[in-house]
Amino acid sequence: MLEVIEKLLILQDRDRNLQRVKTELAHIEPERQALKAKATGTQANLEAAKNKGKQIESERKRLELDVEAKKQQIEKYALQQFQTKKNEEYRALAHEIENCKKAIVGLDDQQIVLMEQAEVAQKEIGVATQAANEARKVVEGQITGLGQREENLKKELAELESNREELAAAVDESTRSRYERLLKSKGSNVVVGIQHGVCGGCHMKLPTQILLSTRGQQEIVTCINCGRILFYTRDMDLAVAD
């Protein structure tokens, strides 16, 4: 194998690792935000359950006040009955007292319904509280893990970048420029082998002359279809597949 190809393969391996680490690092923050959103969602569910419970309790207290107001009205009407000497007024007051008693029965029925709803709401709060606590613990652990992973990736990135320029400088300027251009347009699959007579990058069939030139290992040969740099090793099959 040409010495320059060996150097390019080493450089390419470094660039592939750099790209891998950068990609993983780029995914860290979205993962972190997604985890936080998950915890926020369970907390929001808990707050909604608590608010529902508060609304039920508020409505129950309002009904209690309404019942108390009706009882006070009954006492008032009863006192007026005691003071009146007119049968017509007495009967009218008795009718009002009866209406208040009926209203109290209705309010009591509503309170029973609300008590049942409050019991269900408390169970929902319990379930939501457990879910929020569990989610928080899990998310906190996962975020801590992400932080450690991020730190490790940053260290790895620094190590990979430390002598990347030195590896690149080992390649002659012309070849390095070609490699860098291909790196930008083709990604980290620039220097490719040949298998069964096709380019390892674009997978297009190569002319016989290109195959022979690559096997000759006398100069840098590129794919006529995609421009990638080709290389040959003895374990590669250069024969065109039928």
CATH number at residue 107: 1.10.287.1490
Q: Domain residues for 62?
A: 14-162
**Position 169 in a domain:** no
**What's the rounded Cα separation, in Å, for the pair 60 and 14?**
70
- For tokens 């009002």, name the residue: 96
SS3 label, residue 38: helix
Reply yes or no on whether the pLDDT at 241 is more than 60.
no
**Position 62 in a domain:** yes
**What's the rounded Cα separation, in Å, for the pair 33 and 162?**
30
> Long-range CB contacts (< 8 A, 24+ apart) of 135-141?
135/38, 135/39, 135/41, 135/42, 135/43, 136/39, 136/42, 136/43, 139/35, 139/36, 139/38, 139/39
- Tell which wins on pLDDT, 131 or 234: 131
Q: Whats the size of the chain, residue-wise?
A: 242
Reply yes or no on whether the pLDDT at 174 is more than 60.
yes
Reply yes or no on whether the pLDDT at 242 is more than 80.
no
Using DSSP bridges, classify how beta strands 191-195 and 198-199 pair: parallel, antiparallel or unpaired.
antiparallel
Reply yes or no on whether the pLDDT at 87 is more than 80.
yes
Number of domains the chain contains: 1
| Percentage of the chain lying above the pLDDT 70 cut | 98
**Position 9 in a domain:** no
pLDDT of residue 65: 96
**Position 7 in a domain:** no
pLDDT of residue 239: 57
**Position 200 in a domain:** no
**Position 230 in a domain:** no
**Position 31 in a domain:** yes
- The pTM of the full predicted model, rounded to 2 decimals, is 0.69
What is the chain's mean pLDDT, rounded? Answer: 93
- Tell me the average pLDDT across 109-113: 95
User: Which residues lie below 8 Å from residue 167, measured CB to CB, with a gap of 6+?
Assistant: 7, 10, 11, 14
pLDDT, one tens digit per residue, over 190-237 is 999 998 899 999 999 999 999 999 999 999 999 999 999 999 887 777
**Position 213 in a domain:** no
User: Which residues lie below 8 Å from residue 67, measured CB to CB, with a gap of 6+?
Assistant: 104, 107, 108, 111
Element (H or E) spanning 225, and its range? none
